[in-house]
Structure 1
Amino acid sequence: MRKRITRGARAPYGTLVAAATAALLATLVTPAGARTDPAAPPAGSVRESRPVHSYADAVRESVWVDTGLDGDGDGRADRVAVDVVRPREPAAAGRRIPVIMDASPYYACCGRGNEGQKKTYDADGRPVQFPLYYDNYFVPRGYAFVAVDLAGTNRSDGCDDVGGRSDVRSAKAVVDWLNGRARGYTTRTGTAPARATGWSTGNVGMIGKSWDGTVANGVAATGVEGLKTIVPIGAISSWYDYFHSQGAPLYDANPSWLSDYVNSPDARARCGAVQDRITAATPYSGDWTAAWSERDHVKDAHKVKASVFAVHGQQDLNVRAGQFGKWWDALAAHGVERKVWLSQTGHVDPFDFRRADWVRTLHRWFDHYLLGYDNGIDREPVADVERAPDRWTTDRHWPPRGTATTTLRPAPGAA
């Protein structure tokens, strides 16, 4: 029997955390932190991870993971850039930690968050700053944060194919690497191996808004082992339905321009053939083709093993709410553990409209699914719904029991 889930209690948002003292570590470190694999702490012993690790002294490193694809046709397998920030103390003590991961095409071209934040690097190419707040909030609490450049973007090889095999394989390969099943390297072209098995438990939670959340949906739909949960925010479940409405074209009706938009400058120079193939495979006629099937995650919902915490705005005119609806129904049909927040906003991250509740709930969610803490979030109602501005209700089921499908009929005499 699958479980139903909802939000936690209100709590203030935590800011950056200073280095913890040895005494604080001794008194606050969780029992899971003392185990090789923190996924299964003693039942009932821990309910919340604590900010006991130094963010300032965190390990910051870059790895290039082999995707097994040659999207740009240069005769060698594409490697995607994986920027990591993780607490130094667990690895020094021989302990492994879980990973929160955001795979995105936007880290160099456009940025994430309302401020358009981008990754920044020092003179030696080491990552300095990551967009959003996931690293500075969760790293002190014993998580690694991993920011993946999709193929063709920022410092990765290959070409972005807008929701196709390359996008999904870019991120899935990193989940495999975190579990010791894929090869990683310390440089983009070198042969020195980089391994995560010494510090990663292999438990991964993917998160992201819009395209990033879409990639999370796609990776979950592969059924990859080690992906324990995803948090898609305003995400696409079928790219055809993003570019079309009942067969009518929207947004220029072809994804090839998006590939050019997010590809790095050197990728644009080598990826023209890929963009031509995307254009040919997704005709303006609106016909369903194999390319659209490849970019349809709903049909693969039966493969999903990860829990899903979906967030969507009912006024989202970019990624329309039907994208969530089809995905939600398919997940329900296959008994996937799931939870939803439905807001009255548009294409907006809940960090920007319900911050305190969001950070607290997301913290509990990851603690449960990545650290194994019995904090009760898996036994709570399934849906938070904003019925009017800032007026939220909680529903044990979604849609509510007794909901029926209604077909609109034209008024008598209407044309």
Structure 2
Amino acid sequence: MAMDAGCIVISYFAAAGMRGTFFSDTNWPFILGALVPAFLLTALNNESYATANLEDPFRSVAKGLQAYMLAISTVIFIAFCLKASTTFPRLVVAIGSGFAVVLLALGRYMFVRHMKTIIGGNPFSIILLYDADQPVPDGDFSVVIASDAYFNPDVHDPVMYDRLAQSLAGADRVVVACSPERRVAWAQALKGANIQSEIFMPELNALAPLGISTHGTVPTIIVAAGPLALFDRFLKRSFDIAMAAGALLVLAPVLAVIAILVKLDSSGPVFFKQVRIGRGNQMFRMMKFRSMRTERSDGAGERSTARDDDRVTRVGKIIRSTSIDELPQLLNVLRGDMSIVGPRPHALGSRAADKLFWEVDERYWHRHAAKPGLTGLAQVRGYRGATMFEDDLRNRLQADLEYLEHWSIWRDVKIIVLTFRVLLHRNAF
């Protein structure tokens, strides 16, 4: 909170100094004096300082900027209602807001990234309670307690409940490892503990549930959530159209030159179209600049491209190593087959260690819950090129599933920016 307030104060001081009104104008300090508490109240209300939002730097940045925009909008609205437009320091507020957005974003990102170093350890206290007959699960726990020495959930004793409360005082979470027969008893005991309480259920690994719902009065486990919410789909699709249309407009001369070079280099069509697996496991025809000789192209994708592959043309080597061959997929984005960011689409015959992708890991089909992308989290982490080993696929799959679970428009922007760092990659051939 102190860092956030400091970022805002420094930004407005800098803006007033740039305008030369640091001492001559007395209006901007009043705006700043109203803005800082308004921001802190808004940040508290939108949970900018909640544990979950301080464990992910990008989520922390998004929450902080959201709080600032709401706070400055409130201050401007109040100034309008009080008819203070003649004395309102417009340029100082505009410049100060620009600085504040940048400083808040940088400050929050760096603070969360290095929070353990700044604070001197994990700031979040997690207690593990485990029954004597249960193994101690792996994890970064602050305190590990054998529950039998402190508490028996089957015995309702005020003294025992008090002992449990004292053991959990000051913790952020408590996790219980117990046998299936004792889970209900533990759940009942912890519901009044005034702390986030969780119970290990390792058998759910196979189901990978997303949450809990009900059918009538019977609880159910959510194993798939389907598409993004309506507004999120609208936001992502609008972003895709704007990015794809803008890129095609800017890159049109480059695309025309590449098309001519591909045509002159070898006989055959300019574009290579291949059936790939898209959203909802539906197939579509993905477009690329042709980089291989027509008579030796692999329509099913059964053979991964190797370094110094004799099927690749001279122009093909260049456009493959720079990922330029992927640019026609901007047309797939406009058609709605693909997105700018998402799991990369695979050919039907793609293999890892002589196994079809879905034979390597049964979670493979889960990655198709969203539209495939021009780039993705797996690509910016360097997982691209031939899949010679099963782990080559598993690494990509894990990144794809992580992207789907934690999607946000901010993350899409981050992945696009990071993509430029891996356009020239040792595995691009």
**Quick one: higher RCO (CA 8 Å, sep 6+), 1 or 2?**
1
TM-score by length of 1: 0.20
TM-score by length of 2: 0.19
Which structure's CA Rg is the greater one? 2
